Amino acid sequence: MDNKRRVMQGAADASGSKRGQLAFEFMLIYSFFLLVFVAALFVISQRSAQEQLYAEGTFAKEVAMRFSDEITIAASIPNYEKNYTFPRTMRSMPYEVRIRGGLLELNYSIGKEIDIVYPLATSDVYLNSKNTSIETGEFDTSVGWALIRNIDGSVVISQ
């Protein structure tokens, strides 16, 4: 009878250790797939953030290019006049637009400073009564508009 008990107890112990090993293996496999899932989410979120930054950079370049093109058009057409509108913010943050020495500079911050510079067709630009060929003229971008005119061959911009 004692032998029978030992055999049954040994079988129960073997069955219990097999169940413990199976549970350990299951947790190991589960942890591995959980780690792979978290790593995939991290990679996807990083790529999405990079694409967002690229899209915002492209938008900022487009704003600067359009502004530069509008000044170029104004410089080439006598008596040109246009009420030009532009976005008040970039990524819900204020940004700066400056003109000096025939260059248009757009600056904004996304944790780091981003500067976009475009050449103008002329350096004969007056911004809010400042001669931008000798001093820096700065737009008030929160207004969202500017009046661009060609007066006697000079581009005059006022807000």
User: Are the CB atoms for 51 and 93 separated by under 8 Å?
Assistant: no
pLDDT band at residue 18, thresholds of 50, 70 and 90?
A: confident
Can you tell me whether residue 117 is helix, strand or coil?
strand
Nearest of 148, 143, 33 to residue 82 by alpha carbon: 148
Alpha-carbon dihedral angle through residues 85, 86, 88, 89, given to the nearest 10 degrees: 170
**32's tokens:** 């591995």
Q: For 36-84, what is each residue's pLDDT tens digit?
A: 999 999 999 999 888 887 888 888 899 999 999 999 999 999 999 999 9
Residue 102: strand, helix, or coil: coil
